[in-house]
Structure 1
Amino acid sequence: MTFRAGFVAIVGLPNVGKSTLLNAFLGERLAAVTPKAQTTQRRLRGIYSDTTSQAVFIDTPGLIKPRYTLHRSMREEALSALEDADVALAVADAGFEPSLEWAEEFGRSIRIPRILCLNKVDRVEASRATELREGLAGGGWDGVHGTCATRGEGVREVLGALLERLPESPPLYPVDELSDAPVRDFVGEMIRETCLEELADEVPYAVAVRIEEFRERAGDKPTYIEAVVYVEKESQKGIVVGAGGRTIRKLGTRSRTKIERFLGRRVYLQLRVKVLPNWRKKTHHLRVLGFRVPAQES
């Protein structure tokens, strides 16, 4: 029996549902998902395996016009994923015209097999969704599909189309793995996701999370996790901590619940908040926090 395996880059503008699609493909909540744009800051690999194929999905930050160093880092993460990929999955929001315009242009510029996913089709009339698929089908795509990833609609069809276009290859990773990333990376993303959900205005985008300690303990003792939430200003630190520590306790409680569900065991989570001035604009700080440094600034 022929086995197929390869890398699939998931690309698109911010907030079109790339991470939601990844989670739907895998049947697990690996990638952070919030209503806020730019939730994904660095690429994440999720691995789907069945009896005949293995797709290593690369979830990427939304393609935006960079305003500072972190944005340039995020853009390089997305574009470099395409260089490594065997298949491209472009995701567009069916109800957002700039996203559709981006997809039309993107379809002409990529030379590897490419599938277009029109996500959030529930936002438009069925006749409009059909019109969009038919109109874009002639743009050099190897397939155009409509999905509502939050409901799982159309997801299996897109997955099947992607698997068909992978090259013949033995599995690239053990078939029981869901990702090649360390568990502590997912833990950090769950904490950052909670910050995005709970904090208002500009503060969430100034948040970075670093896991300082991750220690499994013997017996029935909870796993010990110590994490630092970094912000750029003292005023932001005050918001994250909250009056009497109320906000940081809420962030810790909600994050711990997610982490325990993910790990399947009890967790003791210690959160601290530190100021790292202008970390989004400084290459040294980005390196310390584990981000790719843009080539022209390294």
Structure 2
Amino acid sequence: MAESSVLHGSQSGFRAGFVAILGLPNVGKSTLLNAFLGERLSIVTAKAQTTQRRLLGICSGPSFQAVFVDTPGLLDPRDPLQRSMRAEALSTLDDADVVLAVVDAGFRPSIDWVEGFRTPAGRPALLCLNKVDRIPAVEAERLVEGWSRGGGWAGVHRTIAHRGDGVEALLHAIVDFLPESPPLFPEDDLSDVPVRDLVGEMIRETCLEELSDEVPYAVAVRVEQFREPAGNEPTYIEALLYVERESQKGIVIGAGGRTIRKIGTRSREKVERFLEQRVFLELRVKVLANWRRKPNHLRLLGFRIPAEET
């Protein structure tokens, strides 16, 4: 997307800035980010709350650089992990030059959420009505007209992010609101997140896809070793899968190791496509009791802990 979206005309100079992507869980924020970038950077599953921490995606063109910040879905938190996720999402507003609120057109709670959303003072806020194929066109038109008249939005756009529909027009609108600035990152950078952390997210994505019920939400992934290949050898990656209870460990491993082998095979295939090289992936499972509820464990796993949790 970044290479094909050559913007013309409205800029008097180079534009660059941060764009915070906000919304409820599972409305398509990560899918939208991947569509902007033309790369599968942010993990996407059918399960809600897939994104657990913010992720920078850098979209560079000849006359702009939009630094998108994908955030965890906003929800009423029930434990320290969810409070960390909510604080992570809201903290992006502090540095954002543009706010992009994303709504799932076919999900009534998402519509209700944006009706109560207050656009931040002093910075432009755009509204994206995503998944418009889930509702009749006349209903989408009614929502867009209503939000365009009120709510303080600088623009209201319709998209079907997984197909790319409306994404380029939305990107044009975002860039028009970015401040004039030199690039904030090297133009070839896709993210500021270390590759080993992106690999860890791909493994966690596979756990979400392969495990059912509550178990995948109890899995945290930390890459322990990441060794670049020497000669014709594959890249060696060792990752720990943390779960909260012994019973969950048994489920993740599976009978005769069947489940962990499947998670490993599918994760390795994703990582090889991403790195464009052969990979040897070793997974181990370890119990870290009730890690979602213990700030010290969350800190160990790389989560930012709100002040009230410390």
Shorter-chain TM-score: what band? over 0.9
1:174 corresponds in structure 2 to 186
Indicate the larger mover: 33-42 or 105-114. Answer: 105-114
Find the residue that maps to 2:305 and give its secondary structure: coil
- For 2:242, the aligned partner's letter is Y
Find the partner of 1:30 among 41, 46, 49. 41
Q: Deviations over 1:154-196 (max 9, x none)?
A: 0001111111100110000001111111000110000000000
Contact kept, 8 Å, 2:17 with 2:97, in 1: the verdict is: yes
Cα drift, residue 211 of structure 1: 0.2
Which whole-Å deviations, capped at 9, do the CAs of 1:199-220 have from their partners, x for residues lacking one? 0000010010000000012111
Report the residue type matching 2:95 in the other structure: D
Q: 1:203 and 1:268 mapped to 2: Cα distance?
A: 26
Residues 104-115 of structure 1 aligned to structure 2 (within 5 Å): 104-115=115-126
Q: How far did 1:110 drift?
A: 5.0
Asked if the contact 2:20/2:100 (under 8 Å) is kept, the reply is yes
Alignment of 1:225-240 (within 5 A): 225-240=237-252
Would you say 1:259 and 2:302 are equivalent positions?
Answer: no
Q: Secondary structure at the match of 1:130?
A: helix
Q: 1:196 aligns with which of 185, 203, 208?
A: 208
- When the two chains are superposed, the root-mean-square deviation of aligned CA atoms in Å is 0.9
1:12 aligns to 2:23 (yes or no): yes
1:287 equivalent in alignment to 2:299: yes
Query: Which ranges of structure 1 fall in alignment gaps of 5 or more residues?
Result: none
**1:144 aligns to what?**
156
Distance 1:72 1:286, change over 3 A: same
Deviation at 1:109, TM superposition (A): 4.8
Q: CA deviation at 1:96?
A: 1.2
Distance 1:20 1:174 in 2: 24
Structure-2 change in CA distance of 1:45 and 1:2 (3 Å): same
Moved more, 129-138 or 16-25: 129-138
Q: 1:37 to 1:257 in 2, by over 3 A?
A: same
| Aligned mates of 1:211, 1:108 — CA distance in 2 | 38
Does residue 116 of structure 2 align to residue 124 of structure 1? no
User: In structure 2, what residue type is equivalent to 1:188?
Assistant: G
Q: Give the aligned partner of residue 9 of structure 2.
A: none
Q: 2:289 maps to what in 1?
A: 277
Q: Distance in 2 between matches of 1:98 and 1:245?
A: 40
Structure 2 CA distance for aligned equivalents of residues 108 and 271 of structure 1 = 44
Q: Classify the secondary structure of the residue corresponding to 2:170.
A: helix
Matched with 2:66 is: 55
Of the structure 1 ranges 99-108 and 38-47, higher mean CA displacement relative to structure 2 is found in: 99-108
- The answer (yes or no) to whether the contact 1:107–1:114 under 8 Å persists in 2 is no
Q: Does 1:100 align with 2:101?
A: no
Task: Count how many residue pairs are aligned between Structure 1 and Structure 2.
Answer: 298
